[in-house]
Structure 1
Amino acid sequence: MSAMTSAKELGPVRSLVPARLDRLPWTRFHWLVVVGLGVSWVLDGLEIQIVSQAGYQSTLGLSAAQVGAVGSVYLAGEVVGALFFGRITDRLGRRKLFIVTLGVYLVASGIGGLSFSLWFLLIFRFIAGMGIGGEYTAINSAIDELIPSRYRGRVDIAVNGTYWGGAAFGAAANLYLLSDHVPVDLGWRIGFFIGPVIGLIIIFLRRTIPESPRWLMTHGREEEAERTVTAIEQRAEAQGVKLTPVPESKALEVTPVVSVSYLRMAKVFFGDYPSRSFLGFSMMVTQAFLYNAIFFTYALVLQHFYGVPKAHTSYYFFPFALGNLLGPLLIGHLFDTIGRRKMILFTYGVSGVLLLGSAALFHAGLLNATTQTALWCVIFFLASAGASSAYLTVSEIFPLELRGQAISFFFAISQGAGGVVAPWLFGRLIGSGTDKTPLTWGYVIGAVIMIAGGLIAWFFGVDAERKSLEDIARPLSAVARGVPGEQSGPSEVTS
């Protein structure tokens, strides 16, 4: 059945679902959403850190290149999973997918811990990556659609920032699991099971989280959407919250759409919203380049330029991760109060300027391992909030029917640019660690790219703070007011 035929058969409906969701105060239900869904970022950080230490290398007899392939395969799996599950979550719903994708990750990561050869490990690392990539699309879509508009920015940014909490936990686990206290063949296998154990607990919590009422509304299930919102409101009232009626003037009229063709999707991205597509591409690629360049080579820098033993580089990771975690948690609310464009320019721009300064100090030989790490902490305190806002941006500036696919599309681009090019480039610039000049220019390039990303966000950004998702980008299924049955064009929010 085509999307057009389905829309005609289902007919237009008027709904107050979005306005009722945005009218809600913060309640225990919203904490359930944050904890139950936000764990996906924690798991990704945990996975990458656990596996990056390569405790399996000696057991499986792998070369350095083969170890690198394990990491690359996981990232490739994330890209494929995001693209594959992104389209499915827009078609079948958020709830089905955030249960399925977590299940895929649980099984694949656990089986990966039983690996006996390289090919076996590669297969299940790829599948585990697919699960996490799919998580990003379904989770960010559901969080944006369930959280009231005045809290959406800080929640999304904080949740995305918890990646570093997972990474820090993984690094701490590795200090013990890969030490002499645990048999070599056992420690890394236990590490592979930490994520699935956490996920197994969370999957039961997710079963209590409802389908996105916004998704239900635009897919011909208005009665179910109304029941879901009513249940959420009743939870709030049980906590003593008094809810005022939502005026009928805030109703949205939609002609439900079951699915959107690839041709229609391309028209929306590049025909209806070309400046927003350029914005999403720029923000995602610039932050990914900087992050992957520094994160995947920080240990090499410490070893080659500051003489830190390989076994001790993990200790320097903790303050680095702490700065990345605290940034989104402490300043994320400013994206809702001061505003998106101002804060993106500030976090991208200032972190880029600080990186330029640190590059000069590095080249002059004025830093040691401790001061270099301290500078990274300050730089990424800001850059982490900025990077998280990139994910927030691409998840809220496109129509609801394409939200999952928009996230997956720009995530795939950023992983390709940042996850492949940046680590390779900076690894080449580090070389043998005898000449600081090439790496200094690498830092300069990264800083300029980050500053450019902030400037692009200032000029092309969307003032989405405290606005309903439907006001930021009118759903494809929305009917123009006063003209029953006529599809509306894109509704852009200008600065």
Structure 2
Amino acid sequence: MGAETGRITTDIPARLDRLPWARWHWMVVIGLGTVWILDGLEVTIVGSMSEALKPSDTGLGLSSFDIGFAGAIYVAGACIGALLFGQLTDRFGRKKLFLITLGVYIAATVLTAFSMTPAWYFAARFLTGMGIGGEYAAINSAIDELIPAKFRGRVDVAINGSFWVGAAAGSLLTIPLLDPTIVDPAWGWRLAFGLGAVLAVGILIVRRHVPESPRWLFIHGREDEGERIVQSIEHTVEEESGARLEPVHDTITIRQRTTIGIGEIARTVFTLYPRRTIVCFALFVGQAFLYNAFFFTYGDTLTTFLDVKQTGWYLAVFAVSNFAGALLLSRLFDTVGRIRMIAGTYILSGVLLGATGFFLGSVTAVTLTLMGAIIFFFASAGASAAYLTASEVFPMETRALCIAFFYAIGTAAGGISGPLFFGWLIDRASASGDITQIAVGYFVGAVLMVAAGVIQAFLGTKAEGKSLEDIAQPLTAEDSNAEPSVA
């Protein structure tokens, strides 16, 4: 690891975890969590705009395969961005990176709106993905380190589920923007991307007021700054809640380090926590293939096979169901527990998806959307919990990079291959006019989801209500000379 700068005993984690919920926590949720709304907006706009991007005169002359490729390259950018910015987040702090990554997203989204050629569009989508991927690492780590332990599960699941607020907004937004009687077809899809950048600027203004993680600060030798931030948070929460905060007695002794080597991080993930590594990989691959494959190409499926001219309403219903699932089920991840809820939502959604594949030949746009809404009501809560799992079961010094790592490898395996595979299936099925040829994609997604649920059931970690430091001891903890239990 990097050079040791000192040793301190601190009660900062215990003080943050004992806070009651207050308006201050809502500021954190709005400033940080709303990035998922942007991601949902981006993905949905691409799916809804598939037909608008195909004409060579008003669009960019893209084929169905190109639409799938655009989805894949967006995810590829997200994987690279997650790994790049994830490492920088652990090295330079949460706040610096969650401001930088949002800036990257804003610039890339504006470039997308001004795309003149397919190559330009693909490049802009790649950069947009980099910004969003970096956000996942910086934001999840910051949220978990600022939200009290007893609320962490429900907040994380609900925030990750807010992706679908953006998806619903994007779906409804495309309805007027794709109406040639309201907006020129050559400009509608450009305005949709441009509005995403406008929303991001608003988020950036709120985000400037979110502090650096005190947990990150005390490990990196800036305990005085961390203490000032915690005192300010406590004062604000007492004023907002009207509750008097009781002293805490739990402390942790830390050997401060300026940097943590990548070798130490890799050893931690693969050697000390192999079971947790397997669980995270399975959860991310399953949800990435399911979502990216199904949702990136869902609009294309509706228009190609089911004679839908305006996909916005269908996608909005689908999106509302996803957000409702994450919101309504989120509390259960703190009460029923992580293992049961994650395993249950993954297995149930996988079984339902596989069953839907058998009936593709007889579906209508309405029945397919209804089945999708039921499936993803459960899948959205489980998929959101995948990010929660990766962000809380590894030591603090590795948190952002672990999120990035599992997001990248899981998404690369499921999120890049998924859109390409489904795009190929749609082109093939379109040539024959047989929608049932897409069913194989549903079956693959079903198997991956069920397998991930079973792995979670046997190897998952009980993390509900526990401090992050109790779930995974920091690498720099004073008693870390004793190897943590392999899990």
TM-score bracket for the superposition, by shorter chain length: over 0.9
Output the CA distance in 2 between the equivalents of 1:425 and 1:50. 20
What is the CA-CA distance between 1:161 and the residue it aligns to?
0.7
Per the alignment, residue 226 of structure 1 pairs with: 227
1:18 to 13, 20, 28: 13
What is the CA-CA distance between 1:437 and the residue it aligns to?
5.3
TM-score (norm 2): 0.93
**In the alignment, structure 1 residue 487 sits paired with structure 2 residue 487:** no
**In the alignment, structure 1 residue 414 sits paired with structure 2 residue 427:** no
The structure whose RCO (Cα within 8 Å, separation 6+) is larger is 2
**Contact kept in structure 1, 2:338 and 2:462, CA below 8 Å:** yes
Deviations along 1:405-430, whole A, 9 cap, x unmatched? 00111111122112222233334445
> Counterpart of 1:198 in 2: which secondary structure?
helix
**In the alignment, structure 1 residue 242 sits paired with structure 2 residue 244:** yes
Output the CA distance in 2 between the equivalents of 1:426 and 1:118. 20
**Contact kept in structure 1, 2:43 and 2:296, CA below 8 Å:** no
Deviations along 1:301-338, whole A, 9 cap, x unmatched? 43455x323x2333221211111110010011100010
Deviations along 1:344-375, whole A, 9 cap, x unmatched? 11111111222233334445x3x433222211
CA RMSD of aligned residues (A): 2.0
State the AA in 1 paired with 2:373.
Answer: C
**In the alignment, structure 1 residue 348 sits paired with structure 2 residue 349:** no
Output the CA distance in 2 between the equivalents of 1:379 and 1:51. 22
Would the alpha carbon gap of residues 70 and 451 (structure 1) be closer, same or farther in structure 2, given more than 3 Å must change? closer
State the AA in 2 paired with 1:194.
Answer: L
1:399 to 372, 377, 395: 395
State the AA in 2 paired with 1:335.
Answer: F
Output the CA distance in 2 between the equivalents of 1:462 and 1:296. 31
> Counterpart of 1:412 in 2: which secondary structure?
helix
Q: 1:358-397 to 2 correspondence within 5 Å?
A: 358-362=356-360, 365=362, 367-397=363-393
Output the CA distance in 2 between the equivalents of 1:393 and 1:215. 19
Q: 1:451-470 to 2 correspondence within 5 Å?
A: 451-470=450-469
> Counterpart of 2:311 in 1: which secondary structure?
helix
> Counterpart of 1:225 in 2: which secondary structure?
helix
Per the alignment, residue 338 of structure 1 pairs with: 336
Deviations along 1:38-73, whole A, 9 cap, x unmatched? 111111111122233144553464331544443333
> Counterpart of 1:467 in 2: which secondary structure?
coil
Output the CA distance in 2 between the equivalents of 1:12 and 1:465. 29
State the AA in 1 paired with 2:377.
Answer: F
Per the alignment, residue 483 of structure 1 pairs with: none
Q: 1:43-122 to 2 correspondence within 5 Å?
A: 43-52=38-47, 53-54=49-50, 55-57=52-54, 58=56, 59=58, 61-64=60-63, 65-122=65-122
Output the CA distance in 1 between the equivalents of 2:186 and 2:421. 33
Output the CA distance in 2 between the equivalents of 1:185 and 1:428. 27
Output the CA distance in 1 between the equivalents of 2:68 and 2:446. 26
Per the alignment, residue 291 of structure 2 pairs with: 291
Output the CA distance in 1 between the equivalents of 2:364 and 2:69. 31
Output the CA distance in 2 between the equivalents of 1:115 and 1:172. 23
Q: 1:123-138 to 2 correspondence within 5 Å?
A: 123-138=123-138
Would the alpha carbon gap of residues 47 and 443 (structure 1) be closer, same or farther in structure 2, given more than 3 Å must change? closer
> Counterpart of 1:151 in 2: which secondary structure?
helix
> Counterpart of 1:11 in 2: which secondary structure?
strand
**Contact kept in structure 1, 2:72 and 2:417, CA below 8 Å:** no
Per the alignment, residue 447 of structure 1 pairs with: 446
Output the CA distance in 2 between the equivalents of 1:439 and 1:322. 24
> Counterpart of 2:253 in 1: which secondary structure?
strand
> Counterpart of 1:256 in 2: which secondary structure?
strand
State the AA in 1 paired with 2:149.
Answer: S
**Contact kept in structure 1, 2:175 and 2:310, CA below 8 Å:** no
What is the CA-CA distance between 1:164 and the residue it aligns to?
1.1
Output the CA distance in 1 between the equivalents of 2:12 and 2:165. 34
State the AA in 2 paired with 1:84.
Answer: L
1:33 to 24, 28, 37: 28
Would the alpha carbon gap of residues 67 and 252 (structure 1) be closer, same or farther in structure 2, given more than 3 Å must change? same
Per the alignment, residue 471 of structure 1 pairs with: 470
Deviates more, 1:198-207 or 1:32-41: 198-207
TM-score (norm 1): 0.91
Would the alpha carbon gap of residues 427 and 124 (structure 1) be closer, same or farther in structure 2, given more than 3 Å must change? closer
Output the CA distance in 2 between the equivalents of 1:453 and 1:444. 14
Output the CA distance in 1 between the equivalents of 2:103 and 2:442. 39
Deviates more, 1:123-132 or 1:112-121: 112-121
Deviations along 1:447-479, whole A, 9 cap, x unmatched? 222111111001110000000000000001101
Output the CA distance in 2 between the equivalents of 1:356 and 1:111. 39
What is the CA-CA distance between 1:261 and the residue it aligns to?
1.8
> Counterpart of 2:248 in 1: which secondary structure?
coil
Output the CA distance in 1 between the equivalents of 2:289 and 2:123. 26
Per the alignment, residue 198 of structure 1 pairs with: 199
Unaligned runs of 5+ in 2: none
Output the CA distance in 1 between the equivalents of 2:194 and 2:222. 39
Would the alpha carbon gap of residues 446 and 120 (structure 1) be closer, same or farther in structure 2, given more than 3 Å must change? closer
**Contact kept in structure 2, 1:476 and 1:488, CA below 8 Å:** no
What is the CA-CA distance between 1:241 and the residue it aligns to?
1.4
> Counterpart of 1:477 in 2: which secondary structure?
coil
What is the CA-CA distance between 1:234 and the residue it aligns to?
0.2
**Contact kept in structure 1, 2:73 and 2:416, CA below 8 Å:** no
Would the alpha carbon gap of residues 273 and 51 (structure 1) be closer, same or farther in structure 2, given more than 3 Å must change? same
State the AA in 1 paired with 2:285.
Answer: V
